[in-house]
């Protein structure tokens, strides 16, 4: 796959560059940034454009506001955080499009940075609506996509802009493609072990389907596991669970069984009746969860079993923590498995902000893994052979 490169841009001094980044980062209760991995990952591209004298207009989303303005999902605190990282003044626009934004851009000096408000405050963004996309494109002269984490979406700011502006991948996007593409175009070392966790159940079930004919072993944890446990007739108490996906979960497990794929679910789990740093927990069989209990981590025996599976893996792809890693009482399962993955001598790919955040929390050096992707769903879909709109639009 041939791509234009950022270094092919030539003279862009004074040019208005629309830079799509993925600043969809975890926030603390007070709204400040909890983990800035995705922000720091885009800094090389920002600095490159600044040094070339471009007017850098940053576009991002935060959370899922579903087309409605939501103060807690404003990018204003992200803007302040980026100011601290770059040690320079950054302008913030309370709007994403319109005359006020155009006026602000017209007054920008070469090398200055402007962050637009959460682009998903407009429902037209996710619809890639033509009029909205044209209006957004009108703000710039060049489109640079550095948001690998949203590359699997055809939204106005991730792919639509390429219909109206010259489009280039950012340095982070280049790096992601460079690390992940070899797994598409060469023989994957076997066995291929897929680890799935996290809370985004709806998207991951579809991705698991994409890998049913590719992976050898599936290790399931996090909120995702609860849906499969429920489909197996287990009581999951008051745990996070998408019960309406149980038939789909059953069909996935049945297909794995037919194709002799190993599909492991937690045999034991860590439960509590509360979610807090000082929660009282129990490690119990997954058959013994009561109605008032929440499953918040895989159990010790399950963690050891999963760790044994990854020891002999030729390739490991991991998306999503196996417990509620934000809180110490529910980190142990992810810790045991992560340490085993870190010791593996094969290819180890970790995907997603939550996965990267959990590795930081567990104090495991990032250089212990082949690659930690800034995109979760995007990385997994890319590796499954899916066409990603945000990447396709950047082809030379």
Q: Active-site residue among 16, 38, 55, 120? A: 38
CATH of 181-383, one of 3.40.50.1260, 3.90.226.10, 3.20.20.70, 3.40.50.300: 3.40.50.1260
- The whole-number pLDDT of residue 34 equals 86
Tell me the pTM.
0.82
- The whole-number pLDDT of residue 185 equals 67
Query: Is 64 a known active-site residue?
Result: no
- pLDDT tens digit string along 125-134? 999 999 999 9
CATH of 6-176, one of 3.40.50.970, 3.40.50.300, 3.40.50.620, 3.40.50.1260: 3.40.50.1260
Cβ contacts of residue 265 below 8 Å, gap of 6+? Answer: 220, 225, 228, 229, 232, 286
Low-confidence ranges of the chain (pLDDT < 50): none
Cite the residue boundaries of each domain of the chain with CATH code 3.40.50.1260.
6-176, 181-383
Query: Is 377 a known active-site residue?
Result: yes
- pLDDT tens digit string along 239-277? 999 999 899 899 999 999 998 899 999 999 999 999 999
Query: Is 390 a known active-site residue?
Result: no
Q: Active-site residue among 353, 375, 376, 390? A: 353
Query: Is 200 a known active-site residue?
Result: yes
Report the greatest alpha carbon distance in the chain.
Answer: 66
- The whole-number pLDDT of residue 357 equals 83
């Amino acid at each position: 796959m041939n791509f234009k490169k950022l270094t092919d841009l030539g003279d862009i001094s004074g040019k208005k560059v629309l830079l799509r980044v993925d600043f969809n980062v975890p926030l603390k209760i007070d709204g400040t940034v909890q983990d800035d991995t995705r922000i720091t990952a885009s800094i090389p591209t920002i600095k490159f454009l600044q040094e070339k004298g471009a007017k850098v207009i940053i576009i991002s989303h935060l959370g899922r506001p579903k087309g409605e303005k939501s103060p807690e999902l404003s990018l204003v605190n992200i803007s302040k955080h980026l100011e601290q990282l770059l040690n320079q003044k950054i302008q913030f626009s309370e709007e994403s499009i319109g005359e006020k934004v155009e006026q602000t851009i017209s007054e920008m000096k070469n090398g200055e940075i402007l962050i637009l408000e959460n682009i998903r405050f407009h429902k037209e963004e996710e619809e890639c609506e033509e009029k909205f996309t044209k209006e957004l494109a009108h703000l710039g002269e060049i489109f640079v996509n550095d948001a690998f984490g949203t590359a699997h979406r055809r939204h106005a700011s991730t792919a639509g802009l390429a219909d109206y502006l010259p489009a280039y991948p950012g340095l982070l996007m280049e790096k992601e493609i460079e690390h992940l593409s070899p797994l598409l175009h060469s023989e994957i070392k076997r066995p291929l072990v897929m680890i799935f966790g996290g809370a985004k159940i709806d998207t991951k079930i579809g991705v698991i389907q994409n890998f049913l004919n590719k992976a050898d072993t599936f290790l399931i944890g996090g909120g995702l596991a609860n849906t499969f446990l429920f489909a197996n007739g287990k009581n999951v108490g008051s745990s996070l669970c998408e019960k309406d996906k149980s038939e789909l979960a059953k069909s996935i497990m049945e297909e794995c069984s037919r194709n002799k794929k190993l599909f492991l679910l937690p045999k034991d789990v860590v439960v509590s009746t509360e979610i807090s740093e000082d929660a009282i927990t129990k490690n119990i069989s997954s058959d013994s969860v009561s109605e008032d209990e929440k499953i918040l981590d895989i159990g010790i025996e399950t963690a050891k079993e999963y760790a044994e599976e990854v020891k002999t893996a030729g390739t490991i792809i991991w998306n999503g923590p196996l417990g509620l890693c934000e809180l110490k009482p529910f980190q142990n399962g992810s810790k045991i498995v992560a340490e085993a993955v870190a010791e593996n001598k094969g290819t180890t790919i970790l995907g997603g902000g939550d996965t990267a955040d959990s590795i930081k929390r567990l104090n495991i050096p990032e250089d212990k893994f082949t690659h930690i992707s800034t995109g979760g769903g995007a990385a997994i879909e890319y590796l499954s052979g899916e066409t990603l709109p945000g990447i396709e639009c950047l082809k030379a």
